[in-house]
Each structure stands twice: as structure tokens, then as C-alpha cells.
Chains A and B, each alone.
Chain A
Amino acid sequence: MSAIREAIVLPLLFLTVTLLAGVQLTTGVALVPPSLFSLVLGTMLIAALVRSGALAPARLLRGSRSILANANGATVLATLFAASAQVLAMLTPRSGLPLFFLDVFLFVLLLNTLVTQPDRVRLLRSLAVTLGSALLLKFVVLASVSSPSMSRMSRVMVALFDAATFGTIAQEPQSAGAGYLAFFAVGLFLIGVGSLPAAQPVSHDSDLARHDPR
């Protein structure tokens, strides 16, 4: 990995994701730090990246590198953690049953990913699908249910649905720009994760050649 990518591109990209994903556009603008559970999910995501080979920490931090290079590597890891936690916090609904179910869903999904240990390409595809689905759920499905600008009939239907679910589905209305901001943040995050230094593929040919009886 080039020094520019490791020292400049990746940290600045992940910090931008951390900033954008923390922005909450409701009646005003607020920067919301990630919840404790998002930090746990972020840790699990990094563990999954390491186990799949999508992230090789040894290429960022090791004794044979200079102090400056190791500082750059540590910055990449720290900013990746902050961005992961913040993206997962951004994609989680804010209250009620959707918050509970999506947290459980993400936890089980990441746990399953840790256990099955997919390769780098499969993990990145799976991550894109997971983050994309959560984005659609929160910023399209739940946002449309909670939108104040609906027709009278729709509002009646939503009110009935809300009463039937004890008010645990509808979320606080969001600004129209929130979804676009989230889409941009998730896109940047996926680009960053795809650009992380991956584990070098193990060459089995040499081992086979060594043990070849011919």
C-alpha cells in the first residue's frame, strides 16, 4: 500500500465518514456520538474484516516499520473504528422496536460472519448488502412511515398502525437531506473498507511443489 493512501487518504476518508455519519438532521443540526452498542458492533465489524483478510493489521503495525509508519497505521485503525461505529449508529433507528430488532439483527449477522470466516470479496459484498439494507430500512421505509407530509388517509392508517403497535414503530421525522447524507457516508465507508491493506494471498503452489513426490 502506498504511503499516500495509508497516511493521507484512508484517515481523512474515515474521519469524513465519522463526521458525516454523526450528523442528525431533524429540526436543527446535531452531532450525535455513537452509542455503546454501536462501539461493540464496530469492534465486531473490525474483527470480521481481520478474519476475512480484508484488513491485515500486520501491514499497518509491526516492529520492522518506522515509528512514523506505525503511527500512520495506528491512525488508520483508530479512524476505521470510529467510522465503523458511527456508520452502524447512523443506520440504526433511534427508538422503539426497529432499534431493538436492527441492533439484534446486526449483532447476529456480524457474529455469524465472524464464525463462518468468509473471504475478503464475500465479506465486502455482504457488508455492502447489509449496510444498504439498513439504509433502505431506516431512510426509506421507516422515514416514509414517520413522514409528517402524508395524505390524510395515510396518516389515519399510520396512526392506527402506531396504536396497534403501542407507538413503537414510528420514528422522529427526519429532514429530506438525511438520507442523501447517509447514502454518501455509507458509500465513502465502503470505498475506504475496500481500500484497506488486505492480507497477502497464501501461495499454495510452492508448498505443493515442495511436497511433490516427482
Chain B
Amino acid sequence: MKESVVRGLGLVASLGYAAAVAWLYASQPQTVAQVTGGFAAIVGAYKVDPQAFADGLRFFRRDQFVEARAAFARADSAERDPRTEFYIAYTYYRQGWGRLYSDDALFGKGLAAVDKAIALAPGGRFVVDDPDLQMHSADELRAELQRGMTREASDFNPLRVLRTRK
């Protein structure tokens, strides 16, 4: 093989490998699925499993939140899809919502998931067109989760029992 070809191939391979190493350091994947999904997303080949997503949505609408999260996690194993992450955050919101108080642990997990959805969405803006939801944007959901975790005087307002879950 010609020397210049070897040198050119070597340079391309080295730069590609260096970029992959830099991406791994920046994104800190925890599973092999996250690694492969991340690389697939870079080249635009990442796809959410539609069957698992539909299962997750069905469970979500029946208020089976643990089952819904399992299905959503299966659908988006690499955690690269903002829509799935949004729905995961919504499951935490609905499961953690209470008429008298909210579950801070679940709301905290929801906040982490919605932050991931915002980070993955182009320009940080994510809106979902789902008539079953009362909050359609990641920003609304994030604000609601944050409100649920904040202690304030209005928490002691007895009229709070009349509020409804979104």
C-alpha cells in the first residue's frame, strides 16, 4: 500500500478514535446500550423501539407508572430520546403527586428526567402534542416538579386539597 494512503487512513482513524474517546469522557455512559445508542445518535441512526414506547404509553394512561417506566426505559435504552424522557418524568410527577403533599424522592427523579429531556431537545425546547396531558412542554413539567419540591407558606393552605393532578 502506498505510504500516503497508510498515513491518511491512520490520521482519519486516529481522529475518529480520539473524538469517540472525548465523547465518552463528556457523556459518561453507564451501560453498553448507552454507548452504542450514543454513537448511533451521532450518525443519526438511533431509533426508539416503537412497540415498547406504545406499551409504556398504554401503562402510563392506566396509571401503572412503574410498568410504564420499565417500558419507556426499554424503548429508549440509550436515553437519547427527549419524548421518552419527558414521559418518564411525567410518570414520576403523576406517581409522586398527592392531594396533601408530594413525594420529594419521586419528584427529584422526575426533575432529573425532565432535565435530560430538555438537554436532548433541539434548542432546549420540547413540546409534546398529547391531549391526555395537561402540561405539554418540558418547561411546564419542570416548573411543576420544582414547585412540588419547594416548601412555602401556600403549602399550608387548606384549599390545596381541591387542586387536581395535571
Contact residues of A with B, CB < 8 Å? 3-4, 6-8, 11-12, 15, 18-19, 22, 28-31, 33, 66, 68-69, 71-72, 75, 79
Contact = CB atoms under 8 A, between A and B. Distances in A.
B17 A75 contact: no
A29 B13 CA distance: 26
Contacts of A33: 25
A72 B13 CA distance: 11
Contacts of B11: 7, 68, 71-72, 75
The A interface, classified by DSSP as helix, strand, loop or mixed, is helix
Interface residues of B, number: 18
Contact of A22 (B3, B7, B17, B25): B25
A75 B14 contact: yes
Given A30-B28, A31-B24, A7 B17 contact: no
Nearest to B6: A3
A31 B38 CA distance: 15
Contacts of A31: 24-25, 28
A75 B14 CA distance: 8
B9 A8 contact: yes
A40 B61 CA distance: 56
B25 A79 contact: no
23 contacts: A4-B10, A7-B6, A7-B14, A8-B13, A11-B17, A18-B21, A19-B21, A19-B24, A22-B25, A29-B30, A30-B28, A31-B24, A31-B25, A33-B25, A66-B4, A68-B4, A68-B7, A71-B11, A72-B7, A72-B10, A72-B11, A75-B11, A75-B15
